Amino acid sequence: MRRLLATLILAIAAPAAAQGADIAARGAALYADNCLECHGPTATEGEVGDIRGLSLGTVTGAVRSGPGMMPVFALGEDEIRAIVAYLGRLRSG
Ligand code: HEC
């Protein structure tokens, strides 16, 4: 029974974890192309400092409005979501 439960949990959790890794990998590429130049490889550099682990709303707001010296980016919602997933992973190590 315990074994069955473990198998069931794995069957449900593994694809979700794989999907999470995929989206974060996509976010890493998007971050490198668009954001790394100013926010640095650890996302803690530059004028604002740490941008890891911010909410989707906060990151979307910054990307769409271009605060201060930051340009506006024509990124889709999926792309911003991927960047946020990557930034969350950076924070958790
Ligand atoms: C040309 C440099 C530059 C680039 C490229 C850039 N940023 Fe920024 N970003 C800034 C600056 C400067 C600020 C601070 C603006 C201010 O408030 O004066 C900022 C602010 C932010 C904030 C707001 C943080 C907060 O606490 O409200 C977020 C989130 C952010 N950037 C995310 C991104 C993401 C995601 C990308 C890539 C899509 C990106 N930035 C690309 C320079 C940049």
pLDDT in tens, the chain (93 residues): 678 877 877 777 777 777 778 999 999 999 999 999 999 999 999 889 999 999 999 999 999 999 999 999 999 999 999 999 999 999 887
Q: Pocket residues for ligand 1 (CB within 6 Å)?
A: 34-35, 37-39, 46-48, 51, 54, 58-59, 62-63, 67-71, 73, 83
Indicate the average pLDDT of the chain: 91
Number of domains in the chain: 1
* Distance from residue 84's CA to the centre of ligand 1 (Å): 13
d(CA 20, CA 74): 23
Determine the structural domain holding residue 72 and report its residue range: 2-92
- H/E/C letters for each residue in 16-69? HHHHHHHHHHHHHHHHHHHCHHHHCCCCCCCCCCCCCCCCHHHHHHHHHHCCCC
Find the CATH number of the domain harbouring 84.
Answer: 1.10.760.10
Is the entire prediction scored with pTM above 0.75? yes
- Helix, coil or strand: residue 88: helix
* Distance from residue 28's CA to the centre of ligand 1 (Å): 16
For the chain, the distance separating the N- and C-terminal CA atoms, rounded to the nearest angstrom, is 34
